[in-house]
Chain A
């Protein structure tokens, strides 16, 4: 049926239209960062200027949230990398009692709406009289970042042939040497990809953060406040570009890292 190898025109148009629909709105953010109109979202912009980048740079209320966001994302990613890799190593090859329940437990923090994770953590902190701080934000973020690292690591563990581990043991390496010289290099790019995605997720998180933050605010919280009570609208767009790039780059890196994943050592087995 050669005629069926080509998509009908209407389907092609609908699919391409759908992709455009997904991408065009984000481009608008970039345009509005250059507008000369400060008060409204007038389209088309009456004029273009670069001044908002300078204004944003000089605004002192932007830097602390930016630094806090970076700090929280880095710490939660580090925690998630350790915990996610451990649980992936345990789940990848072994069968044990309660395995299904554990896999459910890992995905639950992102399967349930963020408002539930946020509200739960808030209830727990208030019952235990834990003051809201950077630590409580990190606690929340790490919890839902674990699944991201886990997903990447467990996929790579499954593709890794068990034979390389056995060969390493046959050659006299102990478990730690095998981990250091065999497992870690093979897992490396998957872990980096998982870490990148976890970082992006944490850097952008707003719902859980609003429930677990005290007085301090992360960059998304700052943005949310500007959305509800705008001050200088184009400055918000400049920050939006920063947030966009800070999440976009890690994702692109993660994509390139995991694309060639099928060539992992022993993957053909």
Chain B
């Protein structure tokens, strides 16, 4: 045992590299991180830079060619009434969807966080995860079937004699339309449906962190259930709500499939970007439109961070 060596002999390049990594961990780190960083840095950040670059170009109104000179003209076009309306409409829809999703998500998140145990916990988990991950297009398509004029909602409403209610809702100015599948209400419902799991999960995470002892203390101090809910549970759930709203807001702002398939012909930012880069061939304006959600999300994220929503993600 006296000549037992603390260091084993090197048997090949693998051992030599291991020794190098041991002495200089930075080398290993660099080897590990370089390929993914190159990919994300070149492909993704490079593309974002290209988008920004394009947005400062403009289009020659006579030839339709892209003028590769820096100008703020394209951004100025965003403030034309027709374009500015698109931005306002998108923001309004995103806010309405976020609000609706928060209201719908709360009971599910609250039940899953506080009352579901054992097998029910798993049922709730899968019940939220499966719709979250299952095909986006299939979900949108399902709603096309549901909201169609001859679809299930109209059928159900007629069967219970509530067809009048649907007609009344559809005749509302501003949100109504020919049928549910060509109205703002339709677009709004489908957005809520598709993003709902994104709201439930962070809410549930926040609610799970509310200590039961705090609710008991509230009850001991004489608060009714409603009072405990309003003054203890709701404030503590807020970071989760804000974290969820990051997803619902951002996803609604960028989506162009849902308003294209379900809703009126009114334009949204995503649709404008798609049409401008495609048929219209106006890449600079499309890029400028795409920068709007980035700026809004950066501001939103900064606000959310200040309110502690990142801990609930």
A interface residue numbers (CB < 8 A to B):
1, 4-8, 11-12, 14-15, 18-19, 21-23, 25-26, 28-29, 32, 40-44, 82-84, 86-87, 89-90, 94, 96, 102, 105-106, 108-109, 111-117, 119-124, 126-127, 139, 142-143, 146, 169, 172, 174-177, 197, 200-201, 204, 206-207, 210-211, 220, 223-224, 227-228, 236-237, 240, 243-244, 247-248, 251-252, 255
- Of the listed stretches B76-84, B147-155, B166-174, chain A binds B147-155
Which of the residues A84, A109, A172 comes within 8 Å of B44, measured between beta carbons? A109
Chain A residues near B297: list those with CB within 8 A.
Answer: 111-113
**Residue B33 at the chain A interface, CB threshold 8 Å:** yes
Given that A25-B146, A112-B250, A255-B129 are known contacts, is A18 also in contact with B108, CB under 8 Å in the complex?
Answer: yes
- C-alpha spacing A44/B39, complex, angstroms: 51
- Interface pair B35/A120, CB less than 8 Å apart: no
- Chain B residues near A111: list those with CB within 8 A: 246, 250, 297
Closest to A128 in B: B50
**8 Å CB contact of B290 from A18, A108, A115:** A115
| A123 x B50 contact (CB < 8 A) | yes
Contact B293 A113 (CB under 8 A): yes
Known: A26-B131, A121-B47, A244-B135. A116 touches B36 (CB 8 A): no
Q: Does chain A have a CB within 8 A of B64?
A: no
Q: Chain B contact residues (Cβ within 8 angstroms of A): what range? A: 35 or more
Q: List B contacts of A23 (CB < 8 A).
A: 127, 130-131
How close is B283's CB to chain A, nearest CB, in angstroms? 7
Contact of B254 among A94, A114, A237, A240 (CB under 8 A): A114
By a CB distance below 8 angstroms, the chain A residues around B36 are 83-84, 86-87, 90, 106, 146
Residues in chain B within 8 A of chain A (CB atoms): 8, 11, 14-15, 17-18, 21, 25, 28-29, 32-33, 35-37, 39-41, 43-51, 53-54, 104-105, 107-108, 110-112, 114-115, 124, 126-131, 133-146, 148, 150-152, 154-155, 193, 196-197, 215-216, 219, 225, 246, 250-251, 253-257, 260-261, 269-270, 273-274, 277, 283, 286-287, 290, 293-294, 297
What 9 A-B pairs come out closest when comparing CB atoms?
A: A113-B254, A15-B111, A14-B107, A120-B47, A124-B50, A174-B18, A18-B108, A175-B18, A87-B36
Q: Is the interface of A mostly helix, strand, loop or mixed?
A: helix
**Residue of A at shortest CB range from B124?**
A19
For the complex, what is the distance from the CA of A38 to the CA of B48, rounded to whole Å? 44
What is the CA–CA distance of A245 and B61 in the complex, to the nearest angstrom? Answer: 48
Counting chain A CB atoms within 10 Å of each CB, which of B45, B136, B250, B260 scores highest? B136
Instruction: Check A25/B283 contact, CB under 8 A, given A11-B111, A14-B107, A206-B257.
Output: no
A175:B141 contact, CB within 8 angstroms: no
Docked Cα-Cα span, A237 to B141, in Å, equals 9
Task: Known contacts A18-B108, A121-B47, A240-B135; decide if A112 and B197 are in contact (CB<8 Å).
Answer: no
- State A74–B142 Cα separation when bound (angstroms): 27
Q: How far is the CB of B10 from chain A (nearest CB, A)?
A: 9
Q: With the chains together, A120 CA to B301 CA distance in Å? A: 20
Distance in Å: Cβ of A265 to nearest Cβ of chain B: 21
Q: Is the CB of B40 within 8 A of A123?
A: no
Give bound CA distance, A108 to B216, whole Å. Answer: 41
* A174 contacts B277, C-beta separation under 8 Å: no
A240 and B39 contact, Cβ closer than 8 Å, known pairs A23-B127, A43-B151:
no
Report which of B114, B141, B251 forms a contact with A29, defined as CB distance below 8 A. B141
Tell me, in angstroms, the Cα distance from A11 to B137 when the chains sit together: 31
Contacts of A18 in B (CB 8 A): 104-105, 107-108, 196
A29→B144 CA distance, assembly (Å): 10
In the complex formed, the residue of A with least CB distance to B271 is A115
**By CB atoms of chain A within 10 A, which of B28, B51, B287 has the most?**
B51
A123 to B50, CA, bound (A): 6
Smallest beta-carbon distance A154→chain B, Å:
12
